[in-house]
Amino acid sequence: MASAKTIDRFGGLVAAIAIGFSLCAAAWGQVQPPAADSVKVHDRPSDDGSAVVVEWPKPAELPENVQYVIEIARKPEDFADKKFQTIKITPSKNLLKTGREKYFGFAASNQDWYAEEVTPAEYLKPQIPWAFTAEESAHLRTVGDVAAVAGIKDALTGLEQWKSLTWCVKEGLLSEKDAQRAWLAWKLTERYAKDVTAATAEATAVQKKAEEELEQAVEARKQAQTAVSQASGPGLEQAKESLAAAVAAEARARAALRSANEAARMTGERVREGLTKSERSDVDWLGRLDSYLEQAKAKRLKKAMQEINAGTYCYRFGVRSEGGETTLVGPVGAEAVYSGRAEANLFRRYKLNNLVFALAFSGIVLTFIQIAKRNPNLYIRKIAGLEAVEEAIGRATEMGRSAYFVHGLGGVSDLATIAAINVLSRVARRAAEYDTRVRVMNWEPIVTAVSQEVVQQAYTEAGRPDAYDPDDIALVGYNQFSYAAAVAARMVREQPAAIFLIGYFLAESLLLSETGASTGAIQVAGTDSDSQLPFFITTCDYTLIGEELYAASAYLSREPRMLGSLRGQDVAKAFLMTAMVVGTIVFTMAVAFGWHVEWIKGLFEVLD
């Protein structure tokens, strides 16, 4: 028996070990923690110093039923003292570096790694100075309990407010006098809020009573109506009188409900009227102060988080099984601890291609500007719309009518508007020489001011400063359709001989150009808004399409350096066209012959 028992016990032990092993195997799946030296913690490139990157080798298959674990602590000893934060990561395709070209580029080797971006301040949260510490909170809970028993519901909130104000004084955000005023105003606001609550409850009760009375009145009226329909003979008159009284009672009940509703809606305002003028001023001031302090606190908090992110911290890496057990990388008892620091970078590496192309195109344009200085007779292709500017102003002169210049809806910071202002300068100068009035229709005040300056200068340079009238360059509307209505109406009334619609346009483009076409004016339009181009092409005599708008000023000036920039622009365009054709051929051949040319695509990828 004894030996049988021993065998049973031995068998049980073996079974337990076997079950333990099989459970472990099931929990771990096929995933083993990576080797300690394969895990890396480093600064996230191309950012403002807000995160580090933890990266580790990707296993052969997407792991299931496990999580990766990153532990972060301020110093190595904190791991032993359990003062660390844990980040749990479920493996997914999003962990792949290839999904984050912005930081890691387009290298094919990115497929071999998992990477997680860690912002330290999200885990090692900053101490909020105006919040209570753990000890204070514990104490206040007791105070709060006592306060609650004593019916002082706002004791805790009041203390929080007071501490916040004290902190603001210490930090120089608020003077002591203002803090005192804020404290008194806050207490007043609390009282005010209570009064509003009480008054609202009272008004709600009145509303409810009025609703009930109305229901009764409606019911009485219905009964009276039924009585009238059923009555006959002498009783009919009496029933009619009862109905008239019921209808009047219903009307009174409805009026009472309306006034109760109105009273309920105005409760806050009525209570506010009960405050003195100085108290109302204090309550309003507190509202503004709160908003200011919230902003100031948010700013401090952001700064505190930035300071935390700039620190060097310790990291451990491991794998967590489904059962909740974590196995860290490195030998048991001496797990690997990595350190990493986020640093602000001077350059967004992922925009390198963008910078190179911008500099290359700038180089081409500047080179042709230099060439144009030496050789002023550069050939520039003719742009019909710009050739027509002269014709349009000439026509206006012959007909003795004005020319209209419509800026559209762009602000002064829009390139299209700047281009339009440059064209306006040329048009105004030519118009001044021909003694033709130019009326400029503006939508935006700053554009109006700039246009006035530009036209005045153009008239002065043409030797006709006296012909300048500031009323010709006016703001005619400050809203899209008010603007469209004002401009269209003036076109119909004044019948201009030439209309220039140049700048950035939206839905008003067709309203303006179609009205202009109906007046018989010669119309020259120009915009970089590709959605409006079809409307202009349909309704205008000449249209400057996209780049021609930007070229307009240079073209009209005939100044060699400006023309050189246009030639540079055309050469850059030829380069891009060549690149597109060659790229299409190369990628088509790559598909046919199995070439790996993804890196070429990466060169032109735009990341933001």
* Sites for other proteins among residues 524-553 (CB under 8 A): 528, 530, 533, 535, 538-539, 545-551, 553
Query: Looking at the chain, how many residues does it have?
Result: 608
The interface with other proteins within residues 156-175 (CB under 8 A) comprises none
Question: CB of 375: closest distance to other proteins in angstroms?
Answer: 16
Pairwise CA distance, residues 54 & 178, whole Å: 48
Helix (H) or strand (E) holding 420: helix 415-434
Query: Is residue 148 a contact residue for other proteins (CB under 8 A)?
Result: no
Question: CB of 290: closest distance to other proteins in angstroms?
Answer: 16
Kindly report the number of other CB atoms within 10 A of residue 35's CB atom: 12
For residue 359, what are its two tokens? 């500099």
Q: Binding string, 214-253, against other proteins, x = CB under 8 A? A: ----------------------------------------
The interface with other proteins within residues 572-591 (CB under 8 A) comprises 572-573, 576
Question: How is residue 521 annotated by DSSP?
Answer: -
Question: How is residue 96 annotated by DSSP?
Answer: B
Short-list 554, 551, 484, 471, CA closest to 513: 484
The interface with other proteins within residues 418-437 (CB under 8 A) comprises 418-419, 421-422, 425-426, 428-429
Number of residues lying near other proteins (CB under 8 A):
95
Shorter beta-carbon distance to other proteins: residue 121 or 337 = 121
Choose which of 445, 463, 465, 520 interacts with other proteins (CB under 8 A): 445
Pairwise CA distance, residues 157 & 600, whole Å: 61
Shorter beta-carbon distance to other proteins: residue 107 or 475 = 475
Q: Binding string, 48-67, against other proteins, x = CB under 8 A? A: x-------------------
Amino acid letter for position 413? S
Note every long-range contact of 182-187, with CB atoms under 8 Å and residues 24 or more positions apart, other chains counting. 182/286, 182/289, 184/282, 185/282, 185/283, 185/285, 185/286, 186/158, 186/161, 186/286, 187/158
Choose which of 260, 328, 554, 555 interacts with other proteins (CB under 8 A): 554
Q: CA Rg, the chain, in Å?
A: 39
- Longest CA–CA span in the chain (Å) reads 130
Kindly report the number of other CB atoms within 10 A of residue 576's CB atom: 12
Kindly report the number of other CB atoms within 10 A of residue 82's CB atom: 7
Choose which of 24, 138, 184, 415 interacts with other proteins (CB under 8 A): 415
Choose which of 147, 266, 380, 399 interacts with other proteins (CB under 8 A): 266
Shorter beta-carbon distance to other proteins: residue 161 or 422 = 422
The interface with other proteins within residues 22-51 (CB under 8 A) comprises 46-48
Shorter beta-carbon distance to other proteins: residue 327 or 353 = 353
Question: CB of 242: closest distance to other proteins in angstroms?
Answer: 38
Shorter beta-carbon distance to other proteins: residue 164 or 543 = 543
Question: CB of 547: closest distance to other proteins in angstroms?
Answer: 3
The interface with other proteins within residues 326-355 (CB under 8 A) comprises 344-348, 351, 354-355
> In angstroms, what CA-CA distances link 17 with 6, 122, 342?
17, 42, 46
State the SS3 of 306-317: HHHHCCEEEEEE
Question: CB of 461: closest distance to other proteins in angstroms?
Answer: 5
The interface with other proteins within residues 449-508 (CB under 8 A) comprises 449-450, 452-454, 456-458, 460-461, 470-471, 473-476, 478-482, 484-485, 489-490, 493-494, 507
Helix (H) or strand (E) holding 487: helix 480-494
Q: 3-state DSSP call for residue 498?
A: strand
Question: How is residue 414 annotated by DSSP?
Answer: S
Choose which of 413, 591, 592, 593 interacts with other proteins (CB under 8 A): 413
